[in-house]
């Protein structure tokens, strides 16, 4: 694997996002994550998963530089892949904890939202869904995931203004569950997930699936129509201009 690292200790898998400086999500990274989660799901020797990033960045979200250059067919294929991955990780039955050790906007936030518990490092990192200001229409399945944790009203207001939260703000609205010193984040994540792993496995997993029944249905629903609307806007001149400006600024850094 080129974009993630996996270590296993005492039935616990630690997945570290490891692509470039900011862990921007491209086709290869999402494919590797999806394959790994599917493999772990069917492995009886692994009872839980922690997902983390690197210092400064959990994940900066989708790799807009790579996506901008996709053909229409490549863009459609990518968005189907991303939404399928979102559905798979949302329905992942084993305990899943996010150790958010840096910035986590957009796609990075989506991964964190699919987890059962989110621990974020104290500091100046940001988290949230900021797709609308970028010109990306957020699918209903992603909104369902957002509102599952922070409520419909908060999710609506935050999504429509593309609000990004500080760790303290995220904790206050329930977007994250715990703040901790960056040096202790993996220790805290392991402490939390081992509490889940200590439960009777089938009881815990089935309870999780029951709680998420409607959410899983929303993320697994046929999204062809919504995706068509989203892709039409993706190719609109206004969106392309916004993306080009963002990319130009990124490449200057």
Token pair of 180 as six digits = 């901790």
Give me the residues paired with residue 96 across strands: 49
> Given 25, 61, 101, 131, which residue is catalytic?
131
Active site residue 108: no
Handedness of CA 163, 185, 209, 30 (dihedral sign): positive
Angle 13-17-21 from CA coordinates, rounded to 5°: 155
> Given 14, 33, 62, 64, which residue is catalytic?
62
CA–CA separation, 111 and 98 (whole Å): 8
> Cα torsion at 219, 148, 88, 72 (round to 10°)?
50
Active site residue 62: yes
> Given 61, 130, 164, 243, which residue is catalytic?
130
* DSSP, res 165: B
CA–CA separation, 125 and 238 (whole Å): 29
Token pair of 119 as six digits = 């621990």
Q: Which regions of 101-197 does DSSP assign to beta strands (E)?
A: 102-105, 117-121, 127-128, 178-180
> Given 107, 108, 129, 190, which residue is catalytic?
107
Active site residue 209: no
Active site residue 45: no
Q: What positions carry a catalytic annotation?
A: 62, 107, 130-131
């Amino acid at each position: 694997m080129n974009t993630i690292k996996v270590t296993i200790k005492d039935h616990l898998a630690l997945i570290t996002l490891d692509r470039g400086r900011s862990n921007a999500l491209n086709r290869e990274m999402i494919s590797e994550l999806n394959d790994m989660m599917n493999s772990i799901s069917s492995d009886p020797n692994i009872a839980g998963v922690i997902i983390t990033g690197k210092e400064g960045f959990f994940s900066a979200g989708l790799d807009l530089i790579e996506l901008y250059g996709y053909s229409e067919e490549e863009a459609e294929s990518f968005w189907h892949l991303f939404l399928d991955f979102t559905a798979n990780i949302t329905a992942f039955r084993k305990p899943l904890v996010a150790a958010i050790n840096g910035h986590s906007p957009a796609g990075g936030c989506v991964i964190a939202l699919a987890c059962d518990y989110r621990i974020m490092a104290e500091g100046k990192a940001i988290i949230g869904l900021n797709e609308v200001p970028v010109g990306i229409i957020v699918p209903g399945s992603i909104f369902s995931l957002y509102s599952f944790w922070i409520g419909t009203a908060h999710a609506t207001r935050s999504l429509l203004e593309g609000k990004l939260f500080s760790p303290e703000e995220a904790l206050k609205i329930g977007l994250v569950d715990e703040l901790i010193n960056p040096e202790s984040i993996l220790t805290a994540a392991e402490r939390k997930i081992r509490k889940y792993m200590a439960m009777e496995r089938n009881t815990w997993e089935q309870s999780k699936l029951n709680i998420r029944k409607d959410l899983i249905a929303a993320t697994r629903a046929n999204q062809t129509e919504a995706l068509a609307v989203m892709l039409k806007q993706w190719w609109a001149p206004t969106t392309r201009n916004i993306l080009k400006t963002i990319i130009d600024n990124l490449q200057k850094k």
